[in-house]
């Protein structure tokens, strides 16, 4: 009955959801494309017993990369399916994997849409990244006997409180999950409180520590520094949201007053805001260049990065990274991307999306937290004027990344167990003559 009322609510909300996508589509045309996929309508690719991984957007796709590569190696020649929700996530999947995976959007959580999707991709294993809990999708996977895992699972205290009104419904959905591979012990505890079966919850670590560096990122970063002026101080406001660009610009004015040759790199989180950020920087009087125009030089004071998938080269080029989404109550973004390149990190007060990682970075002396926009300028200026401290923080950041690696291997071991159990149970109930299951994952 709970799921029935949820489904009715989803049908009633669908026009609002579609209207929101239309509104975003006027600013970012990718939202206008491939509408049918969002209702599970796409040509049948003829797949069978696929391995399906769902990653919402760019960050989740990047985090899933080492796991997807491991799944491809372990379970070849089974087809690999990767779904996303956002156009930017879709673009990232195509850039990373090309035709090596079958990619579509995950449909809305409507029973018929979900059924059409599952009928076409026919997964033998379903892997959902981080915090995506969809009652109808999870129910149908359970009914069809598809082993389902939530991996790199994270759940903040704030999100746990947000689920309180529908906790009974979420508990029903989680009853269909064979594995929750949590990022930390705190995340594991919250998933148990939310309703996951205790025996299914394990701590595997954070897959983001295992993300490989893009080839040539360091070299491209060095080349850009030579173009801008190798000795000038450079800092990066990365993945900013509305309100954070102004804070970064004000901080940069403070920096320029003491370090006139300083350069600010700024990248908005959402592509539809690229142009707005550029106009704001020009209106404040900065000498502005953009990534798309490739016109940055020694005179540039603010470089607006108006493209997706290029962040790592700019992390490699900077002296210091302010990881945004943390001055406003978004919850912060991935501090490990700059840390993997030995870059010191500054964050704001709101980092609940990456609570454990951020705490580790701060405790190791690899990151600094600021409480306000005004303090951002003070700390950035302080650090840029202290190269030895920047070097020490960068070394500490790299050490944190090295210490925490191994989540992909641990997650693969857990997935191997639930997949082997599911295939064994299936062969016991409906054996297929002549069919040979893949070997179970060995664990270490």
Active-site residues: which are they? 60
Quickly count helices (H) and strands (E) in the chain.
17, 14
338, 315 contact by CB (below 8 A): yes
Structure tokens at 338: 């700059």
Q: Which residues contact 139 (CB under 8 A, 6 or more apart)?
A: 3, 172, 173, 176
Nearest to 417 by CA among 202, 205, 190, 211: 202
DSSP annotation of 341 reads T
- How far apart CA 267 and CA 336 sit, in angstroms, is 17
Q: Which residues contact 174 (CB under 8 A, 6 or more apart)?
A: 133, 138, 180, 191, 194, 195, 196, 197
235, 264 contact by CB (below 8 A): yes
H-assigned helices in 259-335: 274-283, 311-317
- How far apart CA 354 and CA 337 sit, in angstroms, is 12
438, 179 contact by CB (below 8 A): no
- How far apart CA 381 and CA 383 sit, in angstroms, is 6
CA–CA distances in Å: residue 323 to residues 20, 163, 269, 307, 433: 27, 27, 11, 17, 55
Strand ranges of the sheet holding 148-153, from the earlier edge strand across to the other edge: 102-105, 80-84, 50-54, 123-129, 148-153, 179-182, 201-203
103, 93 contact by CB (below 8 A): yes
């Amino acid at each position: 009955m709970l799921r029935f009322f949820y489904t009715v609510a989803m049908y009633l909300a669908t026009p609002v959801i579609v209207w929101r996508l239309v509104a975003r589509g006027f600013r970012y045309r990718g939202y206008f494309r491939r509408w049918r996929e969002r209702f599970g309508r796409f040509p049948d690719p003829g797949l069978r017993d696929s391995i399906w991984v769902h990653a919402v957007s760019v960050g989740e796709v990047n985090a899933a990369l080492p796991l997807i590569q491991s799944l491809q190696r372990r379970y070849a020649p089974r087809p690999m399916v990767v779904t996303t929700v956002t156009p930017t996530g879709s673009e990232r999947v195509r850039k990373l994997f090309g035709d090596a995976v079958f990619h579509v959007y995950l449909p809305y959580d409507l029973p018929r849409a979900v059924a059409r999707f599952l009928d076409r991709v026919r997964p033998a294993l379903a892997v959902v990244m981080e915090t995506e809990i969809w009652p109808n999708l999870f129910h149908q996977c359970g009914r069809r006997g598809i082993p389902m895992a939530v991996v790199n699972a994270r759940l903040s205290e704030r999100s746990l409180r947000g689920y309180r009104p529908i906790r009974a419904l979420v508990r029903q959905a989680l009853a269909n999950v064979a594995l929750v591979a949590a990022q930390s012990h705190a995340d594991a505890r919250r998933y148990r409180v939310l309703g996951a079966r205790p025996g299914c919850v394990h701590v595997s670590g954070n897959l983001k520590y295992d993300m490989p560096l893009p080839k040539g990122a360091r070299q491209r970063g060095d080349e850009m520094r030579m173009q801008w002026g190798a000795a000038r101080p450079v800092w990066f406001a990365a993945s900013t949201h509305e309100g954070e660009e102004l804070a970064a610009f004000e901080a940069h004015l403070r920096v320029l007053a003491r370090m006139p040759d300083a350069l600010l790199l700024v990248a908005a989180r959402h592509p539809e805001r690229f142009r707005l950020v550029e106009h704001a920087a020009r209106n404040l009087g900065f000498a502005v260049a953009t990534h798309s125009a490739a016109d940055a030089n020694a005179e540039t004071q603010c470089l607006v990065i108006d493209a997706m998938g290029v962040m790592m080269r700019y992390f490699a080029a900077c002296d210091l990274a302010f990881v945004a989404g943390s001055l406003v109550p978004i919850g912060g973004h991935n501090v490990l991307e700059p840390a993997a390149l030995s870059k010191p990190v500054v964050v704001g007060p709101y980092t609940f999306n990456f609570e454990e990682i951020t705490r580790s970075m701060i405790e190791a002396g690899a990151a600094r937290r600021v409480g306000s926009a005004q303090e951002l300028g003070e700390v950035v200026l302080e650090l840029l004027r202290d190269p030895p401290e920047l070097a020490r923080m960068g070394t500490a950041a790299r050490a944190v990344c090295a210490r925490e690696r191994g989540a992909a291997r641990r997650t693969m071991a857990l997935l191997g167990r639930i997949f082997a159990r599911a295939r064994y149970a299936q062969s016991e109930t409906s054996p297929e003559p002549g069919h040979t299951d893949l070997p179970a994952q060995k664990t270490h």
